[in-house]
Amino acid sequence: MAEPHELTMLEQAAAIREGELSPVELTRHYLARIDRLNDSVGAYLTVTPERALDDARRAERRLTEGDAPPLLGVSVPVKDLVPVPGVRFTMGSAAFADHVAGASSRQAELLHEAGTVLLGKTNTPEFGLPAYTESLVGPPARTPYDLTRGAGGSSGGAAAAVAAGLASAAHGSDGGGSIRIPASCCGLVGLKPSRGRISPAPLGDVSGLGVPGPLARTVRDAAALLDVMSAHVPGDPAPLAPPQRPFLEWCDALERAPRRLRIARWARPDVPGVTVDPRILEVYEKTSTLLAELGHAVVDVPQPLDPGDRDAFTPVWAVLAALPSVPAARESQLTPMTRWLRAQGQAASGLDYVRALAAMQSVGRKFATAVAGYDAVLTPTLAQLPPPVGALRDDADPAADFAAQIAFTPFTGPWNIAGLPAISLPVGWSESGLPIGMMLGAAHGAEGPLLALAAQVETAAPWAGRAVVEIGTDGAAPIG
């Protein structure tokens, strides 16, 4: 008999509807695992056991009343970059270690309305800025596959929670790879939706870079969570029209043979001097072969961006770093990386920022135009395997720290610049058992066809049995 955390999110939801598993039972199971394992993986900054059990009891009442939405009773934590009323809201910063949210994000509301259980707020680096999850407010988030290595960032806590069996699935956000990076490090599916797909309310992202999205063990779980998250608030900037059918249905349409797709691919970074680990390139070639065996035309294309094209990203990112209002007395509690970025952002004039946005949009159009003639694009998710905790962080030289992050993640950021959807899939593993993600991207608004292709890959090379990790005294050993 499988343990509850070994079931996928949709399997748990089905068991709850069928009376085989109760929401309270599932919640207590997760809370016990969090109590035992969270210190090892750094998944949660704040655990909310009373709120979780209240949510679970509410789900049980809805069951008895015949009100059973698809995700009723499953556990979906929220990344600590968005507020939940009455819950500690740190944004990954020691400067806000004692802050409690008064308002709510629309994402938290949608998950609550769907009947999910809030176990807590997941770990994130300060203001979600770095590609690693290491801060001064909590322990580092680690990939459960090797506790000496980081979970990636900035949704590292969310990914660690799902991979270690401390949540059914998780809410994340992605401004430069922050869902896909941890998904690759932790052996999960991580989807960055299109710009305009999901409401950023009440906070917003004036740059258009960031978007919420799901981290999950399977493509179907990610699609089901996207269905819940894809709702708008009146006044949202440039919202996408609702999909013609639920995203989950795209994953379930595999009985019909998918048409032959034209899939572009490249594995050369646009960042000078960056090389891709040979073990990642091996998985890239195997994934290309798999796509061809599935009947698709896989076409080599040049790297769409030239060296320097992404330079406009940095000043925009710096201005975003400067947006949080930090009391002067607490500025010293910020990390050196945050202070370095904020200084650049605070020095930029309004005209500087608008010019950087315009330059970034130009690069986004260049990227989108280059991939527009293809149904999908394949690249590695990352250029390196998950690095040891602390390997990227350089408090003495934040500029070197930032450069190391880009060298680690050269493939993810352009999809944010262009506002296009992209998904990381855990299709490979190193000889030492570390997960290796491959990324598929598509045109703006094409999450449905992208999820259908991802589900086809998952059916041909299933990974769900490896995506829950049991942590023991000797480190981590995959279940399955």
Residues marked as catalytic: 79, 154, 178
DSSP H or E stretch at residue 268: none
Residue whose pair of structure tokens reads 């500690």 in the numeric block: 88
Compute the residue count for the chain: 480
Residues 297, 309, 366, 128: is their CA dihedral positive or negative?
positive
CA-CA distances (angstroms) from residue 146 to 116, 383, 386, 474? Answer: 29, 18, 9, 10
Amino acid residing at 290: L
- Asked whether the beta carbons of 81 and 101 are under 8 A apart, the reply is no
- Asked whether the beta carbons of 402 and 337 are under 8 A apart, the reply is yes
> By C-alpha distance, which of 260, 261, 262, 258 is closest to 299?
262
Task: Measure CA of the first residue to CA of the last residue in the chain; give whole Å.
Answer: 13
User: Which 3 state secondary structure label does DSSP give 158?
Assistant: helix
Give the Cα separation of 162 and 119 in Å (integer).
12
Give the Cα separation of 211 and 101 in Å (integer).
20
- Asked whether the beta carbons of 114 and 71 are under 8 A apart, the reply is yes
Residue whose pair of structure tokens reads 């294309």 in the numeric block: 301
- Asked whether the beta carbons of 98 and 80 are under 8 A apart, the reply is no
| Conformational region of residue 42, where left means phi above 0, alpha means psi within -120 to 50, and beta covers everything else | left
